Structure 1
């Protein structure tokens, strides 16, 4: 995965977690999806760094 794509996913995850703090009915889904994106990107950064 390219670094630019990783940064886009990282920012998307952070924005989803930030948006989940505002009151709306899909709050938990946004938070979990944002957390999943952040964990996925951090793991992919580590894998790319170790190569």
Structure 2
């Protein structure tokens, strides 16, 4: 009986860790997209200053 409970606990822990990892990777992607957008805006502003 203890073995079944242990296996179930490990599976639940693995699912939780996988969910947290997918959430954090999504969050990282959003931050990267925001950074790319601000970099493009900065370059556009710099080009306007050159003209």
| TM-score, structure 2 normalization | 0.50
Gap regions ≥5 residues in structure 2:
1-6, 37-51
Moved over 3 A (4+): none
Gap regions ≥5 residues in structure 1:
1-23
- Of Structure 1 and Structure 2, which has the larger fraction of its residues in helix? 2
Aligned equivalents of 1:50, 1:28: Cα separation in 2: 33
The yes-or-no answer on 1:33 pairing with 2:14 is: no
1:46 maps to what in 2?
31
| TM-score, structure 1 normalization | 0.50
**Alignment: residue pair count:** 28
